[in-house]
Structure 1
Amino acid sequence: MARTTRNRRRKFGKVETKTNRHGQVYYDASYIPPVEARERYPYLPARIHRNFDDGYELQADAWLSEAKRLIDLGAWEPPEMAENRNAGNTVLFREYAEQFVENRRKGDNQPIRETTKDKYRQYVRDYLNPVLGDLPMASIKPAHIRDWYDSMKVTKDGRGESIRRHVFELLSAIMAEAANASLDDQGTTLIKVNPVQFKVPRPATKHVYVIATREQVRALADAMPPNLALGVLLSGTLGLRQGEVLGLQRRDIELEASPVLLHVRRSAKEISENGHKVAVLGETKTPSSKRDIEVPAPLVEEITRHLDTYVEDKPTALLFTGVRTRGIVRAQSMRNAFAKAIETVNDPTLKGMDFHDLRHTGLTHYAEQGATVGQLMRLGGHTNIKTVATYQQSSKDADKRLLAKVEASMSTTPASAGTSKKNTDGGKPTNDTATARNGGQQLSSPGNPSETAQTSEPSASAGADHADRSVMEPTGATADADAELKALAGALGALDLQSRLAVLKGLDEDRRGRILALLPASVQVDTIQELIKAVA
């Protein structure tokens, strides 16, 4: 504990010579702040203190004299406010950026994950510090930001564009906090103006998802090292992320359940430890990523065989381990093995496919086979309904099946397209093409997952059956029903959200689904989101 060794009387304030617990002498200068200042600064301490090293007693006296002068002039303010105003001229970008990364929090006020910190540290170290690191924060101007941006090289084919945008977003966040975060109760900020004064367009998507067929997923699994083959089947069938696959343990497979359940509870990831990348088990990407998935029977056989062959007989044993390390499989090792499998299969339609495309493959097949939006969100562990739209793209195999269904329904039409005939009840002439369209199974727009799925696995007999019924049933009734649904959808689109939901909840599932597909795009997504929340 510090102790006083000498105290000299002064007209204003005092300077005490003290010794700290390490035996070092220092000067503690202090004074009582002006009484009138407490109204403006209610959290002022009883005394204002500042310490000076041994031998700097004259500087302590000068500090007290300056405080007395400001008080007499009526210009005094808490010393930290003046220090805060000047902080931007003393704090370097590298120092502030490091602090920003270490203290960064997400929108829900939770700290960002260690893997995200590692990524940000790399961005600062490799891309920002070489240009901005040694500049005081207050000295960074828009021209410096432009210089940094131009230093991030992008090739003619677009390589480097994505990483430049990611680093730009981090830089923009750093400078925005410096310009907006208050350092004191008076709202003093580190810099007065954010020097990031332009926006970077989002780069066009370079990677086009490759959706494999069931047969292709099987072929890719067979081309993988035997201890990793199941990982391809799990991702390509159930839509698991790579980290989720590599984080699975024996206890996550509930073979006794009916149907068998796979529990996603964690994810393998890599963090920096003593300057090296280390694979660890961590949290899933989002809380909603923790989910239970029913396993198709054919996949159960594969899982059981893998467990018996490669997995230790204890609950926490990893499903996938390195051959030499027996530890967590590194993400790059899985990607390398998958790239070799692509080469081995040598299928031109799989060119450019990466491991993450297996997840899209699995979820796309779910959509094709009838999964609703809510089911896709649960199966994929998504929180944003818009993300699910990416799984509405069809595989080439599904496109062929869809075309076969259209051809089948058209081939069963009794008269050639464009000709007219009378109804069996002697009604008005009707167009055969319209009859086939109304009577056959509807072709839905890609925007509605459930309807898209309903068209995915047709049979010729089903198409013929619908076409035959279209001739037997009065087309006027069908047209009236369609007109009624369109009118109702139009009316609901004009209502406020809660009123719209109240009406939709009172309809049967089929009618509700058809109306949702007809709602204006401006209200469709919000309506479906709220319906999903209500069901959940």
Structure 2
Amino acid sequence: MANAKGNRRRFGSVRQLRSGRWQIRYPDPRTGLMRPGERTYDTKTDATVALTLIEADITRGDWTDPDAGNVNFGEYADNWLRDRELAARTRERYEGVIRLHLKPGLGAGTLVAITPAKVRSWRTDLLEAGVGAPTVAKAYRVLRAVLHTAVDDGLIPRNPCRIKGAADDKSPERPILTLAEVYAVADAIQPRYRALVLLAAFSSLRFGELAALTRRDLDLERQIVRVRRAQVELATGQLPVKDPKSAAGVRPVALPSAIVKDMETHLRWFGESESSGRLFVGPKGGKLRRSNFHHIWSKALADAGVLPVRFHDLRHTGNTMAADTGASTRELMHRMGHSTMDAALRYQHMRGERDRLIADAMDAEIKKAQGNGRKRLPKQDPPAASGA
């Protein structure tokens, strides 16, 4: 019960309760009805300051209904994901992050219960549980995005994700292969995948981009491969081919002349015959699958005596070689397909001539390595049949 002594103000009211603490009341800006404050205060001054701040928030249009955040976080995160327009693979990744890393620690509580302290504790728990730092950084980015939408929806007043640097993906630097190692793996792998290894290393294409290539994308006369689309491997087993995320992903990439003979041999014996046919297929004509190819790649590394690396590290190797030729940042971003649409438009003016010079410089390095005691390229005879 309230003390009979109340204090009426121009905006709201402050009164002392029998407990000795102070309570505020103010008009709900949506209904005009008086509502009590969410907490009580030790002194009349504290209560008056709190009421003044609420009045200022309402005047600025920044007031948020404290009850609005009483929404289950797990349900809100699911709805957030459902309402996003995302590529299928991206949607799968986000769903996995929410299911594996957000819901276990935060899903049972409400939005308003997620404080900066709670976010710090959640992140620390993940790291102490042995979740890798890059994965934790990705989970933090998704959490921040979900809660940013909650702010936009007027459910919470401020995003509690405020840990400096927590969203930075501090992945360890990936290894690169030497030219000798690239060719050692290319020699050791099943013949139908030799060109795949060389093209990955010297064009910097991603696995999905390589899997989506067709014959008409490869112009050996001009020594160019055109990246138009990319294959995505979903958890359902589906292999859709999609447009790249940005205009920068659609690009011509110049090839070193040293791998042209390998590409010609590949087209003769392994590529599908139609112009629209896929450049790389499995022994039974199936599409390349990253999950299946992993075993072939691992065996080739072992047979070649090369330390275990990811197939994606061939792309890193090619990027490093291109950088070593003196290519500019813009030229590298074009070759790698890294940029926003706007950035890609700015880079278009240099796409042809300088990219050719980059490939020529890479070609010189390949020939130098081949001249240092390495065996010549194989004859263009039909490669020996191989299992798998």
TM bin, normalised by shorter chain, reads: 0.5 to 0.7
Residues 227/120 of structure 1: CA separation in 2 closer, same or farther (3 Å cut) = same
Question: 3-state SS of the aligned residue for 2:239?
Answer: strand
Q: TM-score, normalised by structure 2?
A: 0.65
Match of 1:366 in 2: 322
User: Which ranges of structure 1 fall in alignment gaps of 5 or more residues?
Assistant: 1-69, 77-81, 105-110, 184-188, 385-449, 458-536
Q: CA deviation at 1:314?
A: 1.8
Partners of 2:131 and 2:74 lie apart in 1 by 27
Q: CA deviation at 1:303?
A: 1.5
Match of 2:300 in 1: 341
Partners of 2:313 and 2:113 lie apart in 1 by 45
1:252 aligns with 2:211: no
For 1:318-333, list aligned pairs within 5 A.
318-324=278-284, 326-333=285-292
Q: Give 1:117's match in structure 2, choosing from 84, 91, 94.
A: 91
Match of 1:288 in 2: 248
Q: Give 1:236's match in structure 2, choosing from 201, 210, 220.
A: 201
Question: 3-state SS of the aligned residue for 1:335?
Answer: helix
For 1:149-188, list aligned pairs within 5 A.
149-154=123-128, 160-179=132-151, 181=152, 183=153
Question: 3-state SS of the aligned residue for 2:124?
Answer: helix
1:88 aligns with 2:69: yes
1:354 aligns with 2:354: no
CA deviations 1:250-289 (Å, max 9, x no partner) are 221234xx423211111111234xxx24222122253212
Match of 1:267 in 2: 230
CA deviations 1:23-70 (Å, max 9, x no partner) are xxxxxxxxxxxxxxxxxxxxxxxxxxxxxxxxxxxxxxxxxxxxxxx9
Q: CA deviation at 1:154?
A: 4.5
Residue identity opposite 1:128 in structure 2: L
Q: CA deviation at 1:75?
A: 3.9
Residues 319/127 of structure 1: CA separation in 2 closer, same or farther (3 Å cut) = same
Partners of 1:131 and 1:159 lie apart in 2 by 13
Match of 1:378 in 2: 334
Partners of 1:337 and 1:268 lie apart in 2 by 19
Residue identity opposite 1:251 in structure 2: R
Residues 322/86 of structure 1: CA separation in 2 closer, same or farther (3 Å cut) = farther
Partners of 1:379 and 1:332 lie apart in 2 by 26
Residues 373/271 of structure 1: CA separation in 2 closer, same or farther (3 Å cut) = same
Partners of 1:84 and 1:372 lie apart in 2 by 52
8 Å contact from structure 2 (residues 138, 169) kept in 1? no
Partners of 1:294 and 1:363 lie apart in 2 by 13
Match of 2:116 in 1: 142
Partners of 2:256 and 2:162 lie apart in 1 by 53
Partners of 1:337 and 1:366 lie apart in 2 by 27
Residues 368/192 of structure 1: CA separation in 2 closer, same or farther (3 Å cut) = closer
Q: CA deviation at 1:236?
A: 0.9
Aligned residues: 288
Q: CA deviation at 1:84?
A: 6.9
Partners of 2:254 and 2:174 lie apart in 1 by 29
CA deviations 1:196-241 (Å, max 9, x no partner) are 343354464424432421x322211121122222111001112211
Partners of 1:195 and 1:291 lie apart in 2 by 40
8 Å contact from structure 2 (residues 64, 156) kept in 1? no
Q: Give 1:130's match in structure 2, choosing from 94, 104, 108.
A: 104
Residues 278/130 of structure 1: CA separation in 2 closer, same or farther (3 Å cut) = same
Question: 3-state SS of the aligned residue for 1:138?
Answer: coil
Residue identity opposite 2:148 in structure 1: A
8 Å contact from structure 1 (residues 289, 381) kept in 2? yes
For 1:197-212, list aligned pairs within 5 A.
197-201=162-166, 202=168, 204-212=170-178
Partners of 1:211 and 1:170 lie apart in 2 by 33
8 Å contact from structure 2 (residues 202, 255) kept in 1? no
For 1:46-61, list aligned pairs within 5 A.
none
For 1:493-532, list aligned pairs within 5 A.
none
State the structure with more CA Rg. Answer: 1
* % identity of equivalent residues: 30
CA deviations 1:117-145 (Å, max 9, x no partner) are 11010000111112222222223333432
For 1:403-482, list aligned pairs within 5 A.
none
Q: CA deviation at 1:166?
A: 0.9
8 Å contact from structure 2 (residues 134, 171) kept in 1? no
Residue identity opposite 2:78 in structure 1: E
Residues 287/203 of structure 1: CA separation in 2 closer, same or farther (3 Å cut) = closer
Q: CA deviation at 1:103?
A: 3.0
Match of 1:226 in 2: 191
Match of 1:408 in 2: none
RMSD: 3.2
Q: CA deviation at 1:374?
A: 4.0
Residue identity opposite 1:212 in structure 2: T
Match of 2:259 in 1: 299
Partners of 2:112 and 2:225 lie apart in 1 by 53
Partners of 2:326 and 2:144 lie apart in 1 by 43
Partners of 1:362 and 1:83 lie apart in 2 by 52
